[in-house]
């Protein structure tokens, strides 16, 4: 669930329910975005699991939540829960890359209309293309590098170059509108929201960690677009 971008309080609550159902006793649960710890009330040992990759995957969160509820209501036993979680971690269904790229393009195009309050049909195709290409570059880099700063920076450079060059070639009219819409799929909206929710829930460490990570992503995007406008 942490790998999928879930709120920390939801992770701890799910783990607490599983522990209580499996052992009929309580346990001490502590989770951050980089690891989770569990200590049973009747055991002096602490189990720690490190989290090495993170992203936004609502499907993974939903599937894990569904399995945990089936276990707590007795539909499946602990061994089956463990096997299904391992299988889910290895074979999580996902939309094909081309469909996600098209979705990112459509998202950028329609958000351009929402945020700029304009219905400039001439800028929409360029925004769609720039948004899709920026997302594609970020996704491809994500499979190679774990450094999110690099992914968002180069993805923003890509969409920014397409937007600026496209407007200069007459394929668009307002470069500001194009870039405002095209950059939206890369903006970490869910991490920012979850960081605020964790802070409100009292999970200060997780909230600060997630908020700092989201701030670095926003900084990478801003640096990329600012660099392009400065030199081009």
Over residues 130-177, the pLDDT tens digits come to 999 999 999 898 878 777 788 899 999 999 999 999 999 999 899 999
User: Residue 140 belongs to what domain range?
Assistant: 97-231
Residue 143 domain-assigned (yes or no): yes
Residues 37, 29: contact at Cβ < 8 Å?
A: yes
Residues 81 and 123 in one domain: no
Residue 17 domain-assigned (yes or no): yes
* pLDDT at position 160: 95
Residues 194 and 141 in one domain: yes
Measured in degrees and rounded to the nearest 5, phi and psi for residue 77 equal: -95, 180
Q: What is the pTM of this model?
A: 0.83
In 3-state terms, what secondary structure has residue 31?
strand
- The CA distance from 115 to 139, in Å, is 24
Residues 77 and 105 in one domain: no
Residues 187, 215: contact at Cβ < 8 Å?
A: no
Q: Is the pLDDT of residue 24 over 80?
A: no
Residues 201 and 114 in one domain: yes
Residue 2 domain-assigned (yes or no): no
- The CA distance from 105 to 227, in Å, is 23
Residues 84 and 108 in one domain: no
Give residues with Cβ within 8 angstroms of 4, minimum separation 6: 55, 56, 57, 58, 59, 60, 61, 64
Residues 56 and 142 in one domain: no
In 3-state terms, what secondary structure has residue 37?
strand
Token output for 198: 């964790």
Q: Is the pLDDT of residue 120 over 80?
A: no
pLDDT tens-digit map of 83-109 = 988 888 887 777 888 999 999 999 999
* pLDDT at position 76: 87
* Count of structural domains, the chain: 2
Residues 115 and 147 in one domain: yes
Q: Which of 55, 90, 125 is the last residue of a domain?
A: 90
């Amino acid at each position: 669930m942490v790998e999928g971008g879930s709120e920390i309080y939801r992770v701890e609550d799910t783990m607490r329910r599983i522990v209580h159902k499996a052992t009929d006793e309580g346990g001490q649960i502590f989770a951050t975005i980089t690891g989770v710890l569990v200590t049973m009330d009747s055991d002096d040992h602490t189990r720690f699991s490190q989290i090495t990759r993170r992203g936004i995957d609502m499907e993974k969160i939903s599937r894990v939540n569904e399995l945990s509820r089936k276990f707590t209501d007795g539909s499946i036993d602990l061994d089956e829960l463990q096997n299904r979680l391992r299988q889910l971690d290895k074979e999580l269904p996902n939309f094909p890359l081309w469909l996600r790229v098209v979705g990112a393009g459509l998202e950028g195009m329609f958000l351009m209309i929402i945020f700029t309050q304009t219905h400039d049909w001439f800028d929409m195709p360029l925004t769609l293309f720039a948004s899709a290409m920026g997302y594609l570059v970020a996704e491809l880099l994500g499979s190679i590098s774990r450094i999110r700063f690099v992914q968002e920076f180069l993805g923003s450079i890509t969409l920014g170059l397409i937007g600026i060059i496209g407007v200069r070639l007459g394929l668009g009219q307002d470069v500001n509108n194009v870039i405002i819409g095209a950059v939206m799929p890369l903006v970490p909206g869910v991490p920012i929201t979850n960081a605020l929710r964790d802070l409100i829930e009292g999970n200060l460490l997780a909230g600060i960690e997630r908020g700092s990570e989201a701030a670095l992503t926003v900084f990478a995007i801003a640096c990329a677009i600012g660099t392009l406008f400065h030199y081009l």
